[in-house]
């Protein structure tokens, strides 16, 4: 299985095809580019290549019960003008969601530590590992890339101004090797 930490895995993808019982193949490439649609598709694909299992509370678990949260970022090759920082904390810590106003208030008052603690209790502490995929705004006929990192290392590299964010270049810089899956 392809589930070692600090390894950047690459898989060339062509398209998404739905086979209809009458023999017709429907190309569903727009589903790969749409975040709502590709979320489940790429979770299933990651489970296929890593051997991880579906679970509740996090996106995946391994046979030892360790949990894995999967987060996407826009690939620098596909989206060269996208920001380097991307969201990885629980969705409840953003905008008007449950804890979003609290985190925002902490940060506006210069209380990074309280914002981080809230992010930990609402999400970070529920996971043992993070799987980062380049599936934000994915485009057909592209290369899927993913890397698995331990939670503690992820926490050590959060943005110094907003603990809900991490740098794409930092995440990718933690890769110690690369494996192309054919």
Over residues 148-158, the pLDDT tens digits come to: 999 999 999 99
Q: What would you report as the CA-atom Rg of the chain, rounded to the nearest whole angstrom?
A: 17
Task: Quickly state the pLDDT bin for 170 (edges 50, 70, 90).
Answer: very high
Rounded-to-integer distance, Cα 144 and Cα 134, Å: 6
Q: How far is CA 84 from the centre of its chain?
A: 14
Tell whether the model's pLDDT for residue 35 goes beyond 90: no
112, burial (CB in 10 Å: exposed 0-12, middle 13-18, buried 19+):
middle
Share of the chain above pLDDT 70, in %: 100
Instruction: State residue 36's pLDDT score.
Output: 86
Instruction: State residue 1's pLDDT score.
Output: 87
Rounded-to-integer distance, Cα 80 and Cα 66, Å: 34
Q: What are phi and psi of 2, to 5 degrees?
A: -105, 75
Task: Quickly state the pLDDT bin for 96 (edges 50, 70, 90).
Answer: confident
Contact (CB, 8 A) for 168 and 76: yes
59, burial (CB in 10 Å: exposed 0-12, middle 13-18, buried 19+):
buried
Tell whether the model's pLDDT for residue 97 goes beyond 90: no
N-term to C-term CA, the chain: 13
Rounded-to-integer distance, Cα 174 and Cα 91, Å: 24
Instruction: State residue 95's pLDDT score.
Output: 85
């Amino acid at each position: 299985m392809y589930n070692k930490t600090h390894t950047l895995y690459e898989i060339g993808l062509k398209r998404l095809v739905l086979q209809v019982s009458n023999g017709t193949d429907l190309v569903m490439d727009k589903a790969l580019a749409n975040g709502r649609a590709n979320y489940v598709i790429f979770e299933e694909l990651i489970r296929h290549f890593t051997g991880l299992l579906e679970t509740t509370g996090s996106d995946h678990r391994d046979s030892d019960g360790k949990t894995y949260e999967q987060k996407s970022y826009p690939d620098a090759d596909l989206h060269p003008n996208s920001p380097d920082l991307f969201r990885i904390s629980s969705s409840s810590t953003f905008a008007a969601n449950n804890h979003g106003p609290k985190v925002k208030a902490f940060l506006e008052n210069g209380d990074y530590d309280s914002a981080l603690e809230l992010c930990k209790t609402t999400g970070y502490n529920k996971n043992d590992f993070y799987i980062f995929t380049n599936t934000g705004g994915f485009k057909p006929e592209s290369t899927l890339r993913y890397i698995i990192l331990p939670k503690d290392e992820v926490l050590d590299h959060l943005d110094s101004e907003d603990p809900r964010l991490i740098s794409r270049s930092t995440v990718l810089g933690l890769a110690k090797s690369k494996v192309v899956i054919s």
